[in-house]
Homo-oligomer: A and B are copies of this chain.
């Protein structure tokens, strides 16, 4: 076991004084009583703080509402699960038999919880600076690609902002058809931007989902028509 965990230490570039802490961090509650949930509580909060600090320093002119939105996106389950996959965290998880059989090592919630617990374990073992280093190292490549204007916004909001930036009217959404039985309805929604001659259509299991899917298509069309304006308005903002 110790040999295996040293590969995880290499991956996060931190070596434990007390390796039992790392072992606990990768132990799911289905495995045994010394599981990772308390460490996850601690790791979640050090992660939130370190990411807040990184964002505060990187984006010195965006307001706290946008900082919160971006952070929420960076610490959400799916982002954490992606980081966990890059670290091959699933190779090190200790799960109970039931979870093993049902593929728990692939489940995003189990992966993201264990990753938070690893951050918490690093903090307990090496102090705040060690945890900040380990977390920053995983987030720096992600932060290079963050567009603070768009990250974490839903397509309808983004489309609306794009059109407002061009002084165009809001898009019009229309349910053009519904199919299926009451419990499994599918909505077909059309999104129209008349001034740009854009009409796109998308489907979803709710009206809202179909509208978001249609907005996403419309965004691609607007960007194809007027790419320059998009990047200019992004530059102006920061």
Residues on A lying within 8 angstroms of B by beta carbon are 37-38, 40-42, 45-46, 48-49, 52-53, 56, 63-64, 67-68, 123, 128-129, 132
Contact = CB atoms under 8 A, between A and B. Distances in A.
Contacts of A67: 38, 41
Contacts of A38: 56, 63-64, 67
A68 B41 contact: yes
A103 B115 CA distance: 46
A42 B46 CA distance: 12
A137 to B, nearest CB: 17
Contact of A64 (B37, B46, B49, B128): B37
A42 B54 CA distance: 10
Given A37-B63, A37-B64, A64-B37, A53 B42 contact: yes
Given A128-B128, A128-B129, A129-B128, A64 B48 contact: no
Mostly, the A contact residues are helix
Contacts of A129: 128
A49 to B, nearest CB: 4
A32 to B, nearest CB: 15
A-B pairs, top 4 by smallest CB distance, nearest first, are: A45-B52, A41-B64, A49-B49, A45-B49
A100 to B, nearest CB: 23
Contact of A56 (B41, B52, B63, B68): B41
A46 B129 CA distance: 13
Contacts of A41: 52, 56, 64, 67-68
Nearest to A41: B64
A52 B123 CA distance: 12
A39 to B, nearest CB: 9
23 contacts: A37-B64, A38-B56, A38-B63, A38-B64, A38-B67, A41-B52, A41-B56, A41-B64, A41-B67, A42-B56, A45-B45, A45-B49, A45-B52, A45-B53, A46-B52, A46-B53, A48-B48, A48-B49, A49-B49, A53-B123, A128-B128, A128-B129, A128-B132
Contacts of A49: 45-46, 48-49
Residue of A48, A64, A123, A132 ringed by the most chain B CB atoms within 10 A? A64
A197 to B, nearest CB: 41
